[in-house]
């Protein structure tokens, strides 16, 4: 084992530890590791920066803006409200109506805005018809994640892996190619949620005194739940050391951390991303901070939807359909033959859609930088460089040989299963894109050394990197619903672990049948 392999292994171990420790944003952790590789000569400056100009990364940036345009148009909220049962119903019947639609929507939209929009709406609706919100919020985020597997743009991880596939010299995935496995996986996962989530999830763990009533109190104040985002300036500080009232003009009534209401002195709580603050605030708080990245979501038990013209809604919907249809038909052979010099792919159509949305004010063009998650983009760009470093150092080849030697007598199916397990384990403790970056070069080397078609390994990497089900900290949408639903860490394990096993079995059985070795 040479110096470069030892250096890369040590740096990756440090990266994983830093991501778990969570004292720094993932993008800064990854860029620090990339700079180390640059200093050690494992990466050239060009290889370090290639990820920042990758089409997949820029497509993700544009999709943030398209998702924001759809959100601000109110199209999703209006459609979803029509789906919510109005009269007396049961948990299972409601889930049967909601979960498939949520999964279908998330195949084309960013997961986080969907959960930000729908989680407070579902909680408010469930409380209104006297059903426990805790039966719906984890199924919401899991259904959204399952739907994201179904298309190339359903999750940023698919676009990242697709970018790595093309950089490796292979033909990229088409818009719906991954749906061949994504749809069966989503169906299996949703069936599991329908049959078992109501039994595995708690009725409610919320303390009654912290429950936001959404009613006017004396002084015209309301009870509001605010889930802390990564940009909240009080992260890693005690609540008592951070003057929340001076910063935001609201009073902290209580704190929920790890989904549980703090019964002692809240001033002693060290605030973390994903914690929920229960606030007393006036009517100006949500309009002032509702679009801020300081909070992941705000909920006060009332409707907070700004009026939007029907013209704007129809235009947003039309542009969205234009983008999806264009990217799909652009992959047809007849289109490629007719216009061989122009690539009518998702990148082409998302660029057009974003510019039109900006100029028609579907999202405020002056604030466009506000709607892009820059940390995710930096993480994605650095993921390409880290993947290249794993390949350049020889670590990918050595790891692949080690895995093949371990499974010498069991064949490609076992290696495919090991690829899934390793990637899924990474996705529980670090970001999805970092998990894909670590696994992809090893998966490619395994397929190359075996002399088999690498496509099954690429697909398994995509699916496994999106199985962030087992902990509340592994994915942003999990943290959003943890506070709103009052879930404990073990609530995610109880339902997330069997769901991951179902996804694993479905993927490993079907993938080689669809993409033979």
Q: Are residues 194 and 253 in the same domain?
A: no
pLDDT tens digits for range 390-440: 889 888 888 888 888 776 666 788 889 999 999 999 888 778 888 888 899
- What is the token pair recorded at 253? 């009534």
Q: Are residues 36 and 174 in the same domain?
A: yes
| 3-state secondary structure labels for all residues of 133-190 | CHHHHHHHHHHHHHHHCCCCCCCHHHHHHHHHHHHCCCCCCCCCCCHHHHHHHHHHHH
Question: Is 78 among the domain residues?
Answer: no
- What is the token pair recorded at 498? 């069997």
Question: Is 269 among the domain residues?
Answer: yes
Indicate the residue among 299, 317, 333 that finishes a domain: 299
The count of domains in the chain is 2
Indicate the residue among 259, 276, 299 that finishes a domain: 299
Question: Is 92 among the domain residues?
Answer: no
Question: Is 85 among the domain residues?
Answer: no
Domain that holds residue 217: 213-299
**Which DSSP state fits 230?**
T
What's the CATH number where 270 sits? 3.30.70.1450
Q: Are residues 402 and 447 in the same domain?
A: yes
Question: Is 362 among the domain residues?
Answer: no
Q: Are residues 177 and 242 in the same domain?
A: no
Q: Answer for the pair 196, 135: CB distance below 8 angstroms, yes or no.
A: no
Mean per-residue pLDDT of the chain: 85
Which distant-in-sequence residues (6+ apart) come within 8 Å of 477 by Cβ? 111, 112, 115, 141, 144, 145
Q: Are residues 250 and 383 in the same domain?
A: no
DSSP states along 405-451: HHTTTT-HHHHHHHHHHHHHHHHHHS-HHHHHHHHHHHHHHHHHHHT
Q: For residue 420, what pLDDT is reported?
A: 94
Question: Is 317 among the domain residues?
Answer: no
205-209, 237-241, 412-416: lowest mean pLDDT where?
Answer: 205-209
pLDDT at 300 over 90: no
Q: Are residues 173 and 223 in the same domain?
A: no
Q: Are residues 444 and 495 in the same domain?
A: yes
**Which DSSP state fits 277?**
E
Distance CA 460, CA 427 (A): 13
Q: Are residues 225 and 292 in the same domain?
A: yes
- Helix-, strand-, coil-residue percentages of the chain, each rounded to 5: 65, 5, 30
Q: Are residues 242 and 272 in the same domain?
A: yes
Higher-confidence position of 408 and 89: 89
Higher-confidence position of 124 and 87: 124
Indicate the residue among 299, 314, 341 that finishes a domain: 299
Q: Are residues 192 and 263 in the same domain?
A: no
pLDDT tens digits for range 108-146: 888 877 887 788 888 888 888 888 888 999 999 999 999
Question: Is 142 among the domain residues?
Answer: no
Q: Are residues 256 and 191 in the same domain?
A: no
Question: Is 83 among the domain residues?
Answer: no
Q: Are residues 225 and 175 in the same domain?
A: no
In the sheet with 251-257, reading across from the earlier edge strand, the strands are 260-261, 251-257, 276-281, 222-228, 295-299
């Amino acid at each position: 084992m040479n110096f470069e392999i030892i250096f890369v292994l040590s740096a990756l171990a440090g990266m994983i530890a830093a991501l778990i420790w969570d004292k720094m944003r993932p993008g800064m952790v990854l860029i620090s590791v990339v700079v180390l590789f640059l200093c050690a000569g494992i990466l050239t400056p060009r290889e370090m920066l290639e990820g920042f100009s990758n089409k997949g990364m820029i497509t993700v940036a544009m999709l943030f803006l398209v998702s924001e345009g759809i959100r601000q148009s109110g199209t999703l909220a209006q459609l979803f409200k029509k789906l919510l049962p109005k009269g007396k119903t049961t948990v299972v019947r409601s889930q049967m109506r909601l979960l498939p639609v949520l999964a279908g929507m998330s195949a084309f939209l960013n997961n986080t805005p969907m959960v930000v929009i729908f989680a407070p709406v579902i909680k408010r609706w469930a409380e209104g018809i006297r059903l426990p919100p805790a039966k719906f919020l984890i199924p919401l985020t899991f259904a959204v994640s399952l739907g994201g597997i179904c298309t190339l743009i359903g999750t940023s991880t698919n676009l990242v892996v697709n970018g790595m596939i093309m950089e490796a010299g292979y033909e990229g995935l088409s818009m719906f190619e991954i749906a061949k496995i994504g749809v069966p996986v989503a169906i299996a996962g949703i069936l599991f949620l329908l049959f078992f989530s109501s039994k595995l999830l708690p009725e409610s763990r919320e303390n009654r005194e912290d429950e936001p009533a959404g009613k006017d109190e004396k002084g015209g104040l309301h009870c509001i739940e605010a889930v802390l985002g990564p940009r909240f300036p009080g992260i890693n500080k005690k609540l008592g050391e951070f003057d929340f009232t001076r910063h935001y003009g609201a009073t902290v009534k209580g704190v929920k951390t790890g989904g549980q209401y703090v019964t002692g002195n809240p001033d002693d709580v060290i605030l973390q991303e994903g914690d929920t603050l229960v606030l007393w605030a006036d009517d100006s708080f949500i309009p002032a901070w509702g679009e801020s990245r300081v909070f992941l979501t705000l909920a006060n038990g009332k409707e907070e939807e700004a009026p939007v013209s029907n013209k704007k809604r129809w235009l947003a919907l039309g542009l969205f359909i234009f983008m999806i249809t264009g990217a799909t038909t652009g992959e047809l052979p007849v289109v490629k033959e007719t216009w061989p010099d122009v690539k009518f792919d998702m990148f082409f159509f998302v660029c057009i859609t974003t510019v039109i949305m900006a100029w028609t004010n579907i999202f405020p063009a002056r604030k466009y930088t506000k709607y892009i998650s820059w940390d995710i983009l930096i993480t994605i760009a650095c993921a390409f460089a880290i993947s290249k470093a794993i390949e350049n150092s020889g670590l990918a080849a050595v790891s692949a040989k080690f895995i093949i030697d371990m499974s010498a007598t069991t064949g490609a199916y076992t290696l495919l299963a090991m690829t899934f397990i390793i990637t899924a384990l990474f996705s529980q403790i670090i970001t999805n894109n970092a998990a894909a970056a670590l696994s992809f070069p090893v998966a490619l080397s395994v397929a190359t050394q075996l002399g088999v078609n690498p496509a099954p390994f690429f697909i398994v990497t995509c699916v496994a990197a999106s199985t962030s089900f087992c902990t509340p900290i592994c994915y942003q949408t999990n943290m959003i619903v943890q506070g709103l639903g009052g879930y404990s860490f073990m609530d995610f394990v109880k339902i997330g672990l069997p769901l991951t096993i179902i996804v694993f079995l479905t993927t490993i059985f079907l993938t080689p049948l669809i993409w033979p070795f």
